[in-house]
């Protein structure tokens, strides 16, 4: 019998709030993190909007020392780690350091650092690059820096599976606990707001505002692309037994997980959603939960033409005639598309739903698309008792993951 895994601590930094209380409050109020980009110049682009964390002050959370050479993604993750450990009332000491694991999803985190490092080499010559900037150029830098800062000596992993990274990292963390390689795991993800990623998405016409209005409106007829966002979050994961033994506060239980990689074409969503349907079925089977028992689906829908209709189709496939009865909402309508961090941010949001008894709204839903005709909890949050929920993540390069969370 597999260990039951629970969430006993939460650290979150998002464009709508820092810290779980502010985050959950903002979700209930339907606050949007989307605003004009300030971190770099967008004057030469057709698009101007993004979901940055405008009030990010790492020194306030971490103290000022030791942050000088760390990039934004790393600082976001370190902050999430500190908030999560404090929330779980845990301290990593010399005695317990080998019992902690770290498993973080991040994919694009080092793009800015690589770009800066290369610019130095081109501008000043290769001999004059700053060696202290080099560690940031590898994708495993944020979780590694977290382990270094926390002096955590257990397993440390970086999962880079694109859109599903942070959900996949949580699963990896769950497996670490079940395989007795760690007692407590900090599982989550991070993605920073950076110019290179923004330009990349812009050039492949993935951003809203290139082929239509610059709106963040999942499931809406006017949707035409994502609004890019950033965020980081960490869940403190442990077995229910471990949590009860130390008298920890349990926020939610992870009931099941499913993942299915279905290759189709790079940067193109597979139109039938075969992989997503499989991932959702596998998750529900793993949790021994039937579709009718699910109170809420935290959708991965991100205001692209394809993703939103594919996810709608997947729900119809699994729920059949009852598809219109299950509440679905897209927190990306508030947070933007945070890529690798999206899964864990949705998991934190859904944990808030369970704790506080509400379903966050899908914002900006005004014009109905006849092919997206389910209950999307349009525009305002809804009071509801959430016993069991699904958290989806999938992307246009084959990865699909789904997690079932419950009370």
Partner 1 sequence: MSQTKTVENEIKEIIAQILEADPAKITLEARFVEDLGMDSMMALEIVAAIEKKYKITIPEEELMKLASLGNVIEITKRYLNK
Q: Determine the straight-line distance between the first and last CA of the chain, rounded to whole angstroms.
A: 20
User: Interface with partner 1 includes 135 (CB under 8 A)?
Assistant: yes
Query: Which of these ranges, 65-73, 192-200, 243-251, 292-300, lies near partner 1 under the rule CB under 8 A?
Result: 65-73
What is d(CA 165, CA 302) in angstroms, rounded to the nearest whole number?
Answer: 16
In the complex, least distance from residue 44 CB atom to partner 1, rounded to whole angstroms? 31
Sole binder of partner 1 in the list 65, 123, 180, 383 (CB under 8 A): 65
Give whichever of 36 and 131 is closer to partner 1, judged by the CB atom.
131
User: Interface with partner 1 includes 66 (CB under 8 A)?
Assistant: yes
Interaction residues for partner 1, span 94-133 (CB under 8 A): 124, 127-132
In the complex, least distance from residue 177 CB atom to partner 1, rounded to whole angstroms? 32
What is d(CA 241, CA 180) in angstroms, rounded to the nearest whole number?
Answer: 13
Nearest one of 325, 331, 328, 333 to 365, comparing CA atoms? 333
In the complex, least distance from residue 131 CB atom to partner 1, rounded to whole angstroms? 4
Interaction residues for partner 1, span 253-312 (CB under 8 A): none
In the complex, least distance from residue 194 CB atom to partner 1, rounded to whole angstroms? 23
Query: Which of these ranges, 59-67, 101-109, 157-165, 176-184, lies near partner 1 under the rule CB under 8 A?
Result: 59-67
Number of residues that bind partner 1 (CB under 8 A): 13
Give whichever of 44 and 123 is closer to partner 1, judged by the CB atom.
123
Would you call 398 exposed, middle or buried from its count of C-beta atoms within 10 A (0-12, 13-18, 19+)?
buried
Cβ–Cβ < 8 Å for 359, 381:
yes
Give whichever of 141 and 232 is closer to partner 1, judged by the CB atom.
141
Alpha-carbon Rg for the chain in angstroms: 20
Give exposure, 11-38, as e/b (b: 16+ Cβ within 10 Å): bbbbbbbbbbeebbebbbebbbbbeebe
In the complex, least distance from residue 147 CB atom to partner 1, rounded to whole angstroms? 16
Beta strand pairing status for 5-14 and 252-259?
A: antiparallel
Q: Does residue 24 sit in helix, strand or coil?
A: helix
Q: Does residue 403 sit in helix, strand or coil?
A: strand
In the complex, least distance from residue 86 CB atom to partner 1, rounded to whole angstroms? 23
Residue 102, strand partner residues: 156, 186
Q: At what angle do helices 305-319 and 274-287 cross, to 10 degrees?
A: 40
In the complex, least distance from residue 153 CB atom to partner 1, rounded to whole angstroms? 18
User: Interface with partner 1 includes 44 (CB under 8 A)?
Assistant: no
What is d(CA 71, CA 380) in angstroms, rounded to the nearest whole number?
Answer: 36
Give whichever of 130 and 205 is closer to partner 1, judged by the CB atom.
130
Sole binder of partner 1 in the list 3, 45, 69, 305 (CB under 8 A): 69
In the complex, least distance from residue 78 CB atom to partner 1, rounded to whole angstroms? 16
Distances (CA, A) of 383 to 82, 142, 206, 347, 389: 31, 37, 33, 18, 15
Give whichever of 136 and 400 is closer to partner 1, judged by the CB atom.
136
Contact set with partner 1 (CB under 8 A): 64-66, 68-69, 124, 127-132, 135
């Amino acid at each position: 019998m597999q260990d039951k895994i629970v969430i006993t601590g939460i650290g979150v930094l998002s464009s709508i709030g820092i810290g779980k209380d502010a985050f959950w409050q903002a979700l209930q109020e339907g606050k949007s993190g989307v605003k004009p980009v300030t971190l770099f110049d967008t004057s030469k682009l057709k698009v101007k909007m993004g979901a940055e964390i405008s009030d990010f002050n790492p020194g306030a959370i971490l103290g000022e020392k030791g942050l000088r050479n760390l990039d934004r993604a790393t600082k976001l993750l370190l902050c999430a780690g500190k908030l999560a450990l404090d929330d779980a009332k845990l301290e990593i000491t010399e005695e317990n350091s080998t019992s902690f694991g770290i498993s973080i999803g991040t994919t694009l985190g080092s793009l800015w650092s690589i770009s800066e490092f290369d610019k130095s080499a081109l501008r000043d010559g290769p001999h004059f690059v700053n060696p202290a900037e080099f560690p940031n150029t590898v994708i495993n830098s944020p979780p590694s820096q977290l382990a270094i800062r926390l002096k955590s000596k257990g397993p440390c992993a970086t999962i880079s599976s694109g859109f599903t990274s942070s959900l996949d990292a949580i699963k990896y963390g769950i497996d670490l606990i079940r395989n007795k390689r760690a007692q407590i795991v900090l599982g989550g993800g991070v993605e920073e707001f950076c110019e290179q990623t923004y330009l990349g998405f812009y050039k492949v016409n993935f951003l809203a505002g290139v082929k239509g209005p610059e709106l963040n409106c999942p499931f809406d007829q006017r949707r035409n692309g994502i609004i890019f966002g950033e965020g980081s979050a960490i869940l403190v994961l442990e077995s229910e037994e471990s949590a009860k033994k130390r008298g920890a506060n349990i926020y939610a239980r992870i009931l099941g997980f499913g993942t299915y990689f279905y290759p189709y074409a790079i940067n193109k969503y597979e139109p039938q959603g075969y992989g997503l349907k499989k991932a959702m079925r596998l998750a529900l089977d793993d949790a021994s939960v039937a579709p009718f028992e699910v109170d809420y689906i935290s959708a991965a829908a991100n205001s692209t033409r394809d993703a939103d209709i594919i996810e709608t189709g997947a729900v119809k496939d699994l729920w059949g005639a009852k598809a219109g009865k299950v509440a679905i909402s897209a927190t990306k309508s508030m947070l933007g598309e945070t890529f690798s961090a999206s899964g864990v941010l949705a998991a934190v949001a859904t944990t808030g739903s369970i704790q506080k008894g509400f379903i966050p709204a899908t914002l900006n839903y005004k014009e109905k698309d006849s092919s997206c005709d389910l209950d999307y909890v349009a525009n305002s949050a809804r009071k509801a008792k959430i016993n069991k929920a699904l958290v989806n993540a999938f992307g246009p390069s084959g990865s699909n993951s789904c997690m079932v969370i419950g009370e």
